[in-house]
Amino acid sequence: MFYSDWGGTPKINTAYMDGTEITAIVDTNLVYPQSLTADLDLQRIYCVDTNLDVVESVKYDGSGRTKIFSGHQVSGCMYFIVDKK
């Protein structure tokens, strides 16, 4: 599973469903990581940080962090990004 942690050092973690084997996949340049979404086909996690006004994506292993969208209109409520090829 993937989840965000807003504690002392905000991060995006992965863990087994029983809560063991916790690993941070993103632990830098985050303030309020919210609205995680998994892309099962591309094996990427999408995240909204409402404090930094950014939507980013990262591979399941934490590599390949990419900014998708940024600006003052990022709210963290819901985002639907559809790319039909």
Give 50-57's long-range contacts (Cβ < 8 A, gap of 24+): 50/74, 50/75, 50/76, 55/79, 55/81
How confident is the model over 15-35, as pLDDT tens digits?
Answer: 999 999 999 999 999 999 988
Assigned domain for 51 exists: yes
Print the domain residue range for 34: 2-70
pLDDT of residue 45: 96
In a domain, 36, yes or no: yes
What pLDDT, on the 0 to 100 scale, is given for residue 35? Answer: 85
Low pLDDT (below 50) residues in the chain: 84
3-class SS of residue 10: coil
* Within a domain: 31: yes
Query: Would you state the pLDDT for residue 41?
Result: 93
The set of residues, in sequence order, having a beta carbon less than 8 Å from that of 78 and lying 6+ positions away, is 35
End-to-end CA distance of the chain: 28
pTM beyond 0.85: the answer is no
